[in-house]
Amino acid sequence: MSDGVYDMPEEPRRSRRTPGQRPRALLPTIATLIVLLILFSVFTDVWTQRLWYRSVDLGSVFSTVIGTRVLLFVVVGLLMAAAVVANVIVAFRTRPRVALAPSPSPGFERYGDMLQQRGKIAVGVLATLMLVFGGSAASGEWKVFLAWRNRSPFGVTDKHFNKDIAFFVFDYPWLRVLLGFGYSIVLLSLVAAIITHYLYGGFRPSAKGQKASGAAQVQFSVLLGLLVLLKAFSYWLDRYGLATSDSRLFTGISYTGDNAVLPSKEILAVIAVICAGLFFANVVRKTWLLPGVGTVVLVLSAILLGALWPAALQQLRVRPSEPVKEASYITKNIEATRQAYGLEKTKVINYEAKTQASPDQLVQDAGVLPGIRLIDPSVVGPTFEQLQQVRGFYSFPTDLDVDRYKIGNETRDTVIAVREVEIDRLPAGQRNWNNDHTVYTHGYGVVAANGNQRASDGTPVWSEKDLPPEGDLGDYEPRIYFGEQSPDYSIVGGAKGSGAVELDTPEGQDGGPPTLNTYAGKGGVPIGSFGNRLLYATKFRDANLLLSSRVNNDSKILYDRNPRERVEKAAPWLTPDGDPYPAIVDGQVVWIVDGYTTSANYPYSQKVALDDSTRDTTTGRGTVAQQPSEEINYIRNSVKAVVNAFDGSVDLYAWDESDPLLKTWMKAFPNTVKPRSDISPALMSHLRYPEDMFKVQRDLLAKYHVTDSTTWYQNSDLWRVPADPTVTAGSGGDSQTPDQPPFYLSLRMPDQKDTTFSLTSVYVPNAQRENLTGFLAVDAEASSPDYGQFRILKLPGNVQIPGPGQVSNKFQTDESIRQALLPINQPTSGARAQFGNLLTLPLGGGLLYVQPVYSVRTSGPGSYPVLRYVLVGFGDRVAYGTTLKEALGKVFNTDVDTGEKPPGTDPTTPPSTTNQTVKQALAEAQTAYAAAQAALTKGNLAEYQSQVTKMKNAIDRAVAAGSATPTTPTTTPSPTPTSPPTSPTG
């Protein structure tokens, strides 16, 4: 007891932490964990990329890309961080002892005190932010840097600036990048300096009298001078940018650009240098009068010289006589465009197309007929699937591919597809991790059909079919581990002696149990180690990769399996074609992908939007990819890429070895592209002219087939690609019908002796007319000495040749064709007619149209189209037949093989009146059909059956009458086609 108070026993000391402090103590731990997770995620992405590149023997690509990105990140990031931090330190150390004016708020000075107390932390945070910001932006420019560093000359000198084209393609973009980084560094430094001086009282806009301290004025003057100096450099670079800038008429320097914009840029560059000098002089003079006057002069000069002078010259001098003033510049644009897009050797042939062919001409062109493809690859996908799918988990793409195969002594156009596995089609009861990723790992076999034949029931004539595969394409490795519809990832392989689990075929050779396989290819990334399993479990966010017993020491993981994606990764400097196609080469199924080198900096060449130029009805449908939305004005098919469907290996072959961009990238990535001489004859036989590049070129040739500047300016001979007549306008959410796609055909142009595999398209006038104005074909056979030769058949303006839309309209409105399709389209048949691709080719001295017509059920499972009829149009005449020869004989009123008119025909009799019996019988059939429908509606089944019998009898009479007069072009319906599959023309 002390002072009358008992001493209480001392209690144990307790923590004074309040409950609210616990979360605050956890914040550093949580922040550390977040940072570690982010770093591990980044490490996972980088390391798995490295493993993938090593799996395809392209580790040098990964190391070059990552090394370049790290170099740019470090250099630019450190420059930006150092510049900004240095300016903050300078501003802080030169702060005045007394602020120029009171702070804007009472607590404002506390921010300065707090930063001063924790200066190192603040500087470190700022430096880190600038490093990440600048480095991230710079690392994204690795392609521009590598192209500049490894640039190759074009060997073509720009006459305006007397510089090699390589300067515009390689140097100019890199200089622009450097200029952008310079602006960012100086501007951020200026902002940091202003904030620091403002924070510590060295800069107060509200101060009376002096607004900035002497030190702040010096620092601001230097930084502003650097900004203006960079602007001067920008003006100087703008001169070269005029060569690739878009004007109202074309890409490149125009009359106004040459005589007003170009001189104004040079003058503005000089003024900007003088203005920058005034800012630098302000370091000594310390008065803002001269820099202010210089800035005003620069701004006024930019308005007067950069805007008003060119506008006045364009309006007062150029516009009144624009064709004359712009003539030489238009000529330069035409020449550069045709050169940049590989169109300078295009042959324009004046083609006096006839609307009636003589028998001699038809017999002379009879050799072309076997090359007319009747099987439409965009229609028969469901047919392939229903007849060759075998099991529901196999699939074929929506749009199949066209190739050539030598079968016996004959090279045939072939419609081909790969039978791939699609796990999304598995029944729900079979969907589990083991099935999805370890059992259903690969497709099996190739299915192919002869392009110009059909079986008696309208189905394709198979040249390769069934499981196991059999046919005329030879022996090959049938397993498809890498394809367009492969699962996102699969676990394959296993230890020797372990049981196989990967499904090969649903049944054995003789209908026994399923056959299983263990992957033994070289493709894939080993995933046996715990480290790799952890990485890929993180990458795919799938713990089963760590837990499943199916993943063993010898397992591999297959991913990024789409052939187009593999080429994009293997050669990130290439733009791959949107439609890879399969081929059997040397006993292997491979995917062939055309690779493009592109640029948007070829001087005076017309810029186009790559996605718009390559868009048609097939784009974005099924497995056909859409090209990126970017502008280009130079393109070359520089590389043919081959992806092995079994082991996933990627081989890049130099194709256009003269391309300077290819040479540049081969220097940047040495030993990744094989020389063209390494292409085997077997592979060469399947290479073809690429579709997307052809689409870009045909889009440009619609205008640039004209080489005269006056005609070009007047647009008096402007063409366009017609809309696809087989597609309804507005489909797919588009307000306009997409363009008709190009078609691979074997044909003979007027200046050719032999039939050649070609890629074709047609043109119609740009006006609201649909008559044909031109036919375009390029030699698509890679082994041909004329490969890549463009030929345009320019049709005369005084002859009306119907275009695809007009011919399609004739086909669908012709009475005989409508009556022939009546049994297919009637509601009771449960089917409808589907029109296939409308092909155009020169034949008989004119232009022949051929279109297959399919019958497809409108409802029920297992529906697929079968070929029923072939429609043919020539001039103003149209006809149909169950075979191509039959239809041709009717439309030409000539036997295709002999060139003789069938006996009993009267050439003076109009085609529409040669057989009134057919017309009368078909009219009776239509009347009976209407009566039958009315009786069915009323429930009178007896009357319905009676009218159906009348309709059948009338159709039978029409068929009999049609058979008796085979020379008439208006034909009768044939319920069941009977053409033998051995006929080469259908």
Q: How confident is the model over 810-819, as pLDDT tens digits?
A: 999 999 998 8
State residue 77's pLDDT score: 96
* Contact in structure between 603 and 168 (CB atoms under 8 Å): yes
State residue 112's pLDDT score: 64
Q: Which residue has the higher pLDDT, 934 or 183?
A: 183
CA dist 266 and 894 (Å) reads 72
Q: Among all chains, which residue has been given the structure tokens 């063409």?
A: 719
Q: Taking Cα atoms as reference points, which of 183, 182, 184, 155 lies closest to residue 169?
A: 155
Q: Is the pLDDT of residue 798 over 90?
A: no
* Contact in structure between 49 and 63 (CB atoms under 8 Å): no
pLDDT digits (tens, 9 = 90+) for 396-415: 998 999 999 988 888 889 99
State residue 897's pLDDT score: 65
Distance separating the N- and C-terminal Cα atoms of the chain: 122
- Of 98-107, 208-217, 250-259, 698-707, minimum mean pLDDT range: 98-107
Mean pLDDT computed over 775-789: 95
Q: Taking Cα atoms as reference points, which of 467, 688, 475 lies closest to residue 577?
A: 688
CA dist 233 and 951 (Å) reads 84
CA dist 484 and 582 (Å) reads 10
Mean pLDDT computed over 937-944: 72
Q: Which residue has the higher pLDDT, 121 or 951?
A: 121
pLDDT digits (tens, 9 = 90+) for 157-169: 998 999 999 999 9
Q: Is the pLDDT of residue 733 over 50?
A: no
State residue 255's pLDDT score: 96
Q: Among all chains, which residue has been given the structure tokens 């000391």?
A: 13
pLDDT digits (tens, 9 = 90+) for 540-598: 999 999 999 899 999 999 999 999 999 999 999 999 999 999 999 999 999 999 999 99
Q: Among all chains, which residue has been given the structure tokens 């540049």?
A: 664
State residue 917's pLDDT score: 66
Max mean pLDDT among 360-374, 439-453, 494-508, 720-734 falls in: 439-453
Q: Calculate the CA 416 to chain-centre distance.
A: 21
State residue 510's pLDDT score: 67
Q: Which residue has the higher pLDDT, 354 or 16?
A: 354
**3 state SS for 408-459:** CCEEEEEEEEECEECHHHCCHHHCCHHHHHHHCCCEECEEEEEEEEECCCCC
Mean pLDDT computed over 436-461: 93
Q: Is the pLDDT of residue 37 over 80?
A: yes
Q: What is the mean pLDDT of the chain?
A: 87
CA dist 777 and 744 (Å) reads 9
- Of 101-105, 640-644, 720-724, minimum mean pLDDT range: 101-105
State residue 919's pLDDT score: 67
Enumerate residues 6+ apart whose C-beta is below 8 A from 8: none
% of the chain with per-residue pLDDT over 90: 62
CA dist 472 and 917 (Å) reads 46
Enumerate residues 6+ apart whose C-beta is below 8 A from 397: 381, 417, 484, 485, 622, 623
State residue 605's pLDDT score: 97
State residue 981's pLDDT score: 39
State residue 729's pLDDT score: 41
State residue 959's pLDDT score: 63
Q: Taking Cα atoms as reference points, which of 403, 720, 421, 775 lies closest to residue 592?
A: 403
Give the angle 148-151-154 at the CA atoms, nearest 5°: 130
Q: Calculate the CA 636 to chain-centre distance.
A: 14
Give the angle 267-271-274 at the CA atoms, nearest 5°: 145
Res. 986 pLDDT band, cuts 50 70 90: very low
Q: What is the DSSP letter of 477?
A: B
Q: Which residue has the higher pLDDT, 280 or 734?
A: 280
Mean pLDDT computed over 377-382: 92
- Of 13-27, 109-123, 409-423, 932-946, minimum mean pLDDT range: 13-27
Mean pLDDT computed over 812-829: 85
**3 state SS for 307-340:** HHHHHHHHHHHHHHHHHHHCHHHHHHHHHHHHHH
State residue 408's pLDDT score: 83
- Of 219-228, 285-294, 346-355, minimum mean pLDDT range: 285-294
Helices 119-139 and 59-93 pack at an angle, to 10 degrees, of 140
Res. 511 pLDDT band, cuts 50 70 90: low
Q: Is the pLDDT of residue 621 over 90?
A: no
Tell me the two tokens of residue 231: 């602007």
Res. 508 pLDDT band, cuts 50 70 90: low
**Strand pairing category for 846-857 and 839-843:** antiparallel
Q: Among all chains, which residue has been given the structure tokens 């306009």?
A: 736
979: left (phi over 0), alpha (psi -120 to 50) or beta: beta
pLDDT digits (tens, 9 = 90+) for 296-354: 999 999 999 999 999 999 999 999 999 999 999 999 999 999 999 999 999 999 998 88
* Contact in structure between 609 and 593 (CB atoms under 8 Å): no
Q: Cα dist. 677→224, 643, 653, 785 in Å?
A: 57, 18, 9, 15
**Strand pairing category for 556-559 and 479-480:** unpaired
Q: Is the pLDDT of residue 627 over 60?
A: yes
CA dist 701 and 346 (Å) reads 9
Mean pLDDT computed over 942-959: 74
Mean pLDDT computed over 900-921: 53
State residue 975's pLDDT score: 36
State residue 930's pLDDT score: 77
Q: Is the pLDDT of residue 686 over 70?
A: yes
Q: Is the pLDDT of residue 7 over 50?
A: no
State residue 200's pLDDT score: 81
